[in-house]
């Protein structure tokens, strides 16, 4: 059952989500707010804890990864967790109208979009619009130790978080006023662990 939404800071919400991720990893999910009463309680509105921008990859379900439920997360998903005006507009809606205190960008291991760009796969149609920000992250991480595409996924998440935090006027104003926290994270498919970058 959904409880009354207590106003929390972005730091408090981040801690809640990381605790939920701990339950997810341990196989001790509580599956909050999955009941009929919770569903009906959301008919007339929503007060999500956080915005999570992540990849459209089916292996990266934020509600499950953070052991949350209906109405808890305002999830925006797009291949490569790339922002554009529509994505920014969705995030602005969540923070300005729903008063969501945390915006998280969550990259992940084994990202197909990043792998394709790293291998110079010819991307046709609208898929090609993903290339430029991914290519920038790949170039910046080319010489780093470790898996190149996973390093690029981390860099891309940080780049997108920086762009969100500095997006004018709405997001940057709320970040500067201390009303919204923007954070980049990385989800490891093998372990299930989400780490703050």
pLDDT tens column, 81-103: 999 999 999 999 999 999 999 99
Per the listing, tokens 């860099």 go with: 155
CATH top class, domain 10-196: alpha beta
Per the listing, tokens 């809606």 go with: 93
Average pLDDT, integer, range 117-134: 93
Which of the four pLDDT bands, split at 50, 70 and 90, describes residue 44? confident
Percent of the chain surpassing pLDDT 70: 97
Average pLDDT, integer, range 173-184: 97
Q: Which pLDDT score, from 0 to 100, does residue 37 have?
A: 82
pLDDT of 1 over the 80 cut: no
56-74 confidence digits (pLDDT tens): 999 999 999 999 999 999 9
DSSP labels for the chain? -PPP-----HHHHHHHHHHHHHHHHHT----TT-SHHHHHHTTT----SEEEEE---TT--HHHHTT--TTTEEEEE-GGG---HHHHHHHHHHHHHS---EEEEEEETT-HHHHHHHTT----GGGGGGHHHHHHHHHHHTTSSS-HHHHHHHHHHHHHHHHHHT-TTHHHHHHHTTS-EEEEEEE-TTT--EEE-
Full-model pTM: 0.93
Residues facing residue 105 across a β-bridge: 53, 184
Average pLDDT, integer, range 31-55: 87
pLDDT of 133 over the 80 cut: yes
- In sequence order, the 6+-apart residues with CB closer than 8 A to the CB of 75 are 51, 52, 54, 62, 63
Average pLDDT, integer, range 118-127: 92
Q: Which pLDDT score, from 0 to 100, does residue 2 have?
A: 46
Q: Which pLDDT score, from 0 to 100, does residue 5 have?
A: 54
Average pLDDT, integer, range 102-122: 96
Which of the four pLDDT bands, split at 50, 70 and 90, describes residue 39? confident
């Amino acid at each position: 059952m959904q409880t009354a939404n207590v106003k929390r800071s972005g730091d408090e919400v981040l801690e809640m989500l990381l605790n939920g991720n701990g339950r997810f990893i341990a196989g001790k999910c509580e599956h909050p707010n999955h009941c009929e009463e919770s569903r009906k309680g959301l008919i007339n509105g929503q007060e999500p804890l956080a915005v999570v921008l992540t990849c459209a990859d089916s292996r990266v379900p934020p509600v499950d990864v953070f052991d949350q439920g209906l109405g808890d997360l305002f999830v925006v998903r797009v291949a490569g967790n790339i922002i554009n005006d529509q994505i920014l507009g969705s995030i602005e809606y969540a923070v300005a109208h729903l008063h969501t205190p945390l915006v998280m960008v969550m990259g992940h291991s084994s990202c197909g979009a990043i792998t394709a760009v790293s291998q110079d796969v010819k991307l046709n149609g609208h898929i090609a619009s993903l290339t430029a920000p991914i290519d920038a992250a790949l170039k910046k991480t080319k010489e780093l130790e470790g898996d190149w595409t996973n390093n690029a996924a981390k860099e891309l998440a940080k780049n997108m978080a920086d762009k969100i935090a500095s997006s004018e006027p709405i997001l940057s104003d709320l970040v500067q006023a201390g009303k919204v926290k923007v954070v980049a994270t990385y989800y490891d498919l093998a372990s299930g662990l989400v780490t703050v970058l």
